[in-house]
Amino acid sequence: MANGIPTLEDLKKQLKTRLEEVGRILSAINTMEELFGQEKTSLQGLGINLAEDIPVGENVRVKVGRPQNADIRPDQFLGISPLDAAKKYLRTIGRAAHIDEIANAVTRGSAAIKGAGWREELEESLLRSTREVVKVQEHIYGLTEFYTEDQLKGLRETRRQRPEPKTKKRGKKLASPRSSKKRDKQQTRGEEKESAQGVKEEAK
């Protein structure tokens, strides 16, 4: 430390010490969770996102990055629906994700997938789950718990449904020239017939 100002090396040592402490605490938490059969806590799930995997102690390595896919156990979503598995995955990584990433995690975690179109059905279910899930961008979904009320309100305001276009009133169908001529001819014949009958009656 020079003139009371920490050097770069001093800051690196401080960081290493803090990360080692974080690693020990997280390791203890994960051990207890394993004993109780609970899902392991990750730094991502706590909203802590750094750049890479960092060794934080002897034989201890903590993932602090934001990978495209979190480590998924083959039985992590065993027997549960794709929608519930998707929400669990999002909660684990602590951020929004593309539907491709979500579907990949759901598959690797052995969720209860049914039918060839399950991926499209999953995305439709995510769109319908407006209380827990929010569409951030096209095909990208996060959990509402990740965002503040103001953020969600602002998003909803920008996505208000546009008013439906007014349907044009159907007017009376205009008669074609042919049909008008036909009617005129019929009317003329009818008048001629009435006139002829009138003449016959007068002759009698």
- 90-99 pLDDT, tens digit per residue, is 998 888 999 9
Higher pLDDT among residues 135 and 170, named by residue: 135
For residue 9, the model assigns a pLDDT of 83
For residue 80, the model assigns a pLDDT of 95
Is 82 within 8 Å of 62 (Cβ atoms)?
Answer: no
Helix axes 99-108, 82-93, angle to 10 degrees: 110
pLDDT at 155 over 70: yes
- Among candidates 38, 90, 35, 41, which has minimal Cα distance to 62? 41
For residue 75, the model assigns a pLDDT of 92
pTM of the predicted structure, to 2 decimals: 0.48
Class of the CATH domain delimited by 82-158: mainly alpha
- 33-52 pLDDT, tens digit per residue, is 778 877 777 766 666 655 44
Q: Kindly list the domain boundaries of the chain, sorted by start residue.
A: 12-63, 82-158
- Beta-carbon contacts of 97 under 8 Å, excluding residues fewer than 6 positions away, are 89, 90, 140, 141, 142
Distance in angstroms between the alpha carbons of the first and the last residue of the chain: 139
- 173-192 pLDDT, tens digit per residue, is 555 556 566 666 666 666 66
Higher pLDDT among residues 2 and 55, named by residue: 2
